[in-house]
Amino acid sequence: MATSGTYTYNPSLGELTLYAYNLIGVRNTAIAQEHLEAARMATNLMLSRWSNQGVNLWAVDLVTTPLVQGQSTYAIDGNTVMILDAYMATTDGSGAEIDRIIMPVSRTEYSTYPNKQQQGFTTVFWFDRLISASRSTGSAGPSITLWPVPDGNSAQYLKYYRVRQIQDSSMSGAQTVEVPYLWLEAFAFGLAVRLAVIWSPDKAIALKAMADEAYQIAASQNVENAQQYISPQISGYFR
C-alpha cells in the first residue's frame, strides 16, 4: 500500500479560511479584503472562546519562579488563563529536588487570614486574575500570592502548571494556527459558522450542528488518559 509516510499536514490560516468560505458557498475568486478581515476577527474570537471552554492541553506549560524570603506576591504572565497545579520545590543537601503540592484558595478565604505576612511553610496560593498592566486601569496585572509567606528555608522555587492563551492568528506569511492536528476540523467548521452568520445566514444553523459535533469529538480527546480512584476514608470506624 502506497502512503505518504509523512505526518506534517498543517494548513495555514489562509487555507483554512478559504475552506471555511467554501463551506458557506463563497468561492475563492469572490473573496475580497473584507472577507479576510472578518475571518481574522472570527478566528481570534473563536480561540478566545475555546480558552474559556476548558483546558487546552497543548497550551499547558510549566513555570518556575524563584522565591524571595518575605515576599508573598509574584507577578504572572498576562497570557495566563488559569493555574492547574502548583508546588514548592526544595533542593536538599545532595542536590535532589523535593516537590510539595500547595492548594488554591479564594480571595475570600485569603482575606480571612489575620497575619498575611506570616512567614513559614507555604501551603496555599491565591491567583488574582487581574488584566495585564495598563495606564488606563492602573492594574498591576495577574499575580499569585503565597501563604504562609516564603521564609527562605522551606522552599527555593514556586512551580506551577498553567493554561495560557492560544497564540494570536494572522493571515500574513502563511502562518498556521496554534491548534493540533486533531482540532483542525473543529476549527474549520467553527470558523465557517461565524462567517456564515455574516455572509450566508441561511447556512448558519446547519453548519452550527456540524461545528458542535466536531468540537465535541475533538474535546473528548483533549483529556489526560489516566486512572482515577475514589475511596472513602473509613479508618475512623476501626481501632
Task: Give the tens place of pLDDT for each residue, 46-73.
Answer: 999 999 988 899 999 999 999 999 999 9
Among 104-113, 150-159, 189-198, where is mean pLDDT lowest? 150-159
The pLDDT confidence band at residue 92, using thresholds 50, 70 and 90, is confident
Q: Nearest CA to 61 among 160, 166, 181?
A: 160
DSSP lists the bridge partners of residue 162 as 61, 83
pTM for this entry: 0.86
Residue 86 in this model has a pLDDT that exceeds 90: yes
CA–CA gap between residue 170 and residue 21 (Å, rounded)? 17
The pLDDT confidence band at residue 230, using thresholds 50, 70 and 90, is confident
CA–CA gap between residue 65 and residue 209 (Å, rounded)? 44
Q: Is 76 helix (H, G, I), strand (E, B) or coil?
A: coil
Q: Nearest CA to 133 among 51, 67, 60, 76?
A: 76
C-beta of residue 155 within 8 angstroms of C-beta of residue 67: yes
Domain boundaries, the chain: 13-55+175-220, 58-164
Q: What is the mean pLDDT of residues 201-213?
A: 96
CA–CA gap between residue 77 and residue 50 (Å, rounded)? 19
Q: Position 171: which residue type? A: M
Residue 137 in this model has a pLDDT that exceeds 80: no
**pLDDT given for residue 224 in this prediction:** 84
Residue 239 in this model has a pLDDT that exceeds 90: no
| Preceding amide of 148 cis, omega within 30 | yes
